Every structure is written in C-alpha cells, then in structure tokens.
Chain A
Amino acid sequence: EPEVTQTPSHQVTQMGQEVILRCVPISNHLYFYWYRQILGQKVEFLVSFYNNEISEKSEIFDDQFSVERPDGSNFTLKIRSTKLEDSAMYFCASRGQENSPLHFGNGTRLTVT
C-alpha cells in the first residue's frame, strides 16, 4: 500500500538555525498538509497546500514557516529561525480527494536546543 514518507525521523538543531523537513506524499494525491504535535498535546494543523499554493494556514504558521513543492514528489516544511517552542513531532499528510481521510507519515521529531 502506498505511504507517506518523511525524512529525517529525528532532527536536532540549535535555536536560530534553519531546518527543512521533507515529505514524499502518496503519488496521486492532490492535497498536502503539515501538522505538529508537541509532546502530550493535541495534533495541531499548520498548513494545507493544493494546486501549488497554500490553501489554508493556522496562526502557528507565521513568517518563520514556509512550504514548498519543488518537484512532482517532494513537499517540504522550512522553519527559518527555530525557537525552543518549535520542538515537536511534525507530521506530513496527504489525501487524494475532498472529504477523504488523511494519510500521515511517521513524523519527524524536531528537537531545538
């Protein structure tokens, strides 16, 4: 069964550094998402992407965050200048149609020191 893959599985970075989290969504999917989960808290929406542009974003997704789909397969989340509070599990998800379930990757654990 096709799956969403995320790399790396764990990223450690120093405060103020830039990080890029990478995702390969399921190949025929059209809608792409980033979510995050701070330890012990709920899964929070960051951004959705459709037709090569951001379709929706949350308050968390400020100017420090950006997303890109540089080619036909990758979907990346960049954090320009990381803060301690950015430490979380970041999940990429995709889906093929409206009102269909999300398919999640296994996440990237980001630790900002």
Chain B
Amino acid sequence: DQQVKQNSPSLSVQEGRISILNCDYTNSMFDYFLWYKKYPAEGPTFLISISSIKDKNEDGRFTVFLNKSAKHLSLHIVPSQPGDSAVYFCAASARTGATNHFFGTGTRLTVIP
C-alpha cells in the first residue's frame, strides 16, 4: 500500500525557472507533511514542512502548498539553481509522538544550467 505517491520519477528544469514537484496521499489522518532532499551517497535532509492547519509555508526559494481536500501537496522552487539537482522525497505522518514518516518514491530534479 502506497500511502504517499510521487507520480513523476524525474523532472528537468532550466536554471532560473520554477520547479514544481507534486505529491499525493491517501490517508486522511496525515497531519504533518515534509519534503526531504537527497544527494547521492548521503541520507535525506529536511527541506521544508507544513502542518494540516496551514495551506502554504514558505522558506526562501522553497514554498510548500497543501490542498487537503484533494490530498495533494506540492513543492515550488523559485528560482531553480543547479545545486538544487537532487532527489526530492515527500513524506507524511499521521499523529504526534514517535510515529514514523511515510515516504513517496521520490522525484529526481535536474536543473540545467
């Protein structure tokens, strides 16, 4: 059962343009959503998060949007830079406490100089 889905395995964007990465989830109990970035030979690193009480959270060039009715979230990167090239994982969790994150399969973003 794949509770968090990233349907685009890869995305290529020109430097300076917007990158939009999408994520869908099925569990309506999820209330905390995160994006992680992963470079080769490294573990995922936290990028940005959003709780279910919000529909947008912004941090510099990164903005996450949450549409609870559609069970969809997206990550916008503006402007995209070559250093943003990495695999991006969407993750979600259902409750507070020591609960785990459910991860999507990842989207490989390539920013072309």
Interface residues of A (CB under 8 A from B): 4, 31, 33, 35, 41-45, 48-50, 55-56, 58, 91, 93, 98-99, 101-107
Contact = CB atoms under 8 A, between A and B. Distances in A.
- Sorted nearest first, the 7 A-B pairs with minimum C-beta distance are A104-B43, A101-B46, A50-B98, A43-B103, A55-B98, A45-B100, A42-B105
For the residues of B in contact with A, the DSSP-based class is: loop
A45 B92 CA distance: 12
A57 B61 CA distance: 36
B96 A107 contact: no
Contacts of A56: 98-100
Contacts of A101: 34, 36, 46, 49
Given A102-B46, A107-B43, A45 B102 contact: yes
Nearest to A104: B43
Given A42-B106, A104-B43, A33 B97 contact: no
Given A55-B98, A99-B51, A106 B44 contact: no
A20 to B, nearest CB: 19
Nearest to A54: B98
B32 A99 contact: yes
Contacts of A33: 100
B43 to A, nearest CB: 3
A104 B99 CA distance: 15
A49 B98 CA distance: 7
B45 interface: yes
Contacts of B44: 43, 91, 102, 104
B49 A106 contact: no
14 contacts: A35-B103, A43-B106, A45-B100, A55-B97, A56-B99, A93-B43, A99-B32, A101-B46, A101-B49, A102-B46, A103-B46, A105-B43, A106-B41, A106-B42
Contacts of B46: 101-103
Contacts of B103: 35, 42-45
Contacts of A102: 36, 44, 46, 101
A107 B44 CA distance: 9
